[in-house]
Chain A
Amino acid sequence: AQSVTQLGSHVSVSEGALVLLRCNYSSSVPPYLFWYVQYPNQGLQLLLKYTSAATLVKGINGFEAEFKKSETSFHLTKPSAHMSDAAEYFCAVSEGQKLVFGQGTRLTINP
C-alpha cells in the first residue's frame, strides 16, 4: 500500500519568505502525485499534480513542486509567501483510482 509522509505538521514563515512544505511518498511504480490546499471550513482545492511529464510542476497561486524519484519526494515551494497562503496543505499519491493523503501541514504566515 502507498503511504505519504508530510514532515512538519505546522510550518510558520514570514510574509515574503520562501515556503517549503515537504512530502515523501512510498511507491514501487511511478505515481501520480498531488498537492491540495484547504482553507478553513472548505473543501480541498487542487494546487498542482505530477503525472510523469515534467519533473518540475507549476501550479496555481505561484506554487510549484519538484518530483525527485531518487529521494521519493515531492516538496511544495513558493518563493514569496503571502498572507493569503495561510491554510492546510495536503500531499496525496494515487493508489489505483483512490488517493492516499498525508497528514497535512498547517502553514502560518507571520506579518
Chain B
Amino acid sequence: GAVVSQHPSWVICKSGTSVKIECRSLDFQATTMFWYRQFPKQSLMLMATSNEGSKATYEQGVEKDKFLINHASLTLSTLTVTSAHPEDSSFYICSARDIRAGTDTQYFGPGTRLTVL
C-alpha cells in the first residue's frame, strides 16, 4: 500500500503565531510531495510542489514567505504557516507522489484543519 500521514489532524492557534504541519510517506519514499488547501464545499487548490532537497515551487498567488515548505528527507515534508491570521483558517491536505513500479499516483494524507483565532 501507500500510506501518507499528517500531523496534527487539527490545530487552533492565536493570530500572529506560526504553525507547522508535517506530512510523511510511511511505506514509500517520495521525492515529490504536494500541499493543497481546501475551502468548505470546494475542490482542492494546489498551493505548492515540494521537492526533496530543493526549493518548493509555489503556485501563482501563493505567498511563499507566508507558507514555508521544507522537504528535508524522502519521507517528510513540512508546511509552516507563518504569522497566521484568521483568513488562513482552512483544511490543508498533503499528498505524496508514488512512482514505484512505473506508476505515478498521488496518495493523500488525512488533512489538517487549521483554525486561527
The chain A residues found within 8 Å of chain B, CB to CB, are 32, 34, 36, 41-46, 49, 51, 90, 94, 97-99, 101-104
User: Which residues in A have their C-beta under 8 angstroms from that of B103?
Assistant: 51
B49's partner among A46, A97, A104 (CB-CB below 8 A) is A97
User: Which residues in A have their C-beta under 8 angstroms from that of B43?
Assistant: 90, 101-104
Cα-based distance from A40 to B46 in the complex (angstroms): 19
**Residues B44-77 near A (CB distance < 8 A):** 44, 46, 49
Closest chain-B Cβ to A48's Cβ sits at a distance in Å of 10
List, sorted by A's number, 20 A–B pairs whose CB atoms are closer than 8 Å: A32-B104, A36-B108, A41-B91, A42-B110, A43-B108, A43-B110, A44-B44, A44-B93, A44-B108, A46-B107, A51-B103, A90-B44, A98-B34, A99-B34, A99-B95, A99-B106, A101-B43, A103-B42, A104-B42, A104-B43
Instruction: State the 7 A-B residue pairs at the shortest beta-carbon distance, nearest first.
Output: A43-B108, A44-B108, A43-B110, A43-B111, A101-B43, A103-B43, A43-B109
Closest chain-B Cβ to A58's Cβ sits at a distance in Å of 16
**Nearest-neighbor residue (CB-CB) of A49 within chain B:** B105
Closest chain-B Cβ to A65's Cβ sits at a distance in Å of 15
Closest chain-A Cβ to B8's Cβ sits at a distance in Å of 13
Closest chain-B Cβ to A59's Cβ sits at a distance in Å of 12
Q: Quick one: given A46-B105, A94-B104, A102-B43, are A41 and B32 in contact (CB under 8 Å)?
A: no
User: Which residues in B have their C-beta under 8 angstroms from that of A99?
Assistant: 34, 46, 95, 106
User: Which residues in B have their C-beta under 8 angstroms from that of A103?
Assistant: 42-43
User: Which residues in B have their C-beta under 8 angstroms from that of A43?
Assistant: 4, 6, 93, 108-111
B104's partner among A36, A45, A97, A102 (CB-CB below 8 A) is A97
Cα-based distance from A84 to B41 in the complex (angstroms): 19
Cα-based distance from A79 to B11 in the complex (angstroms): 40
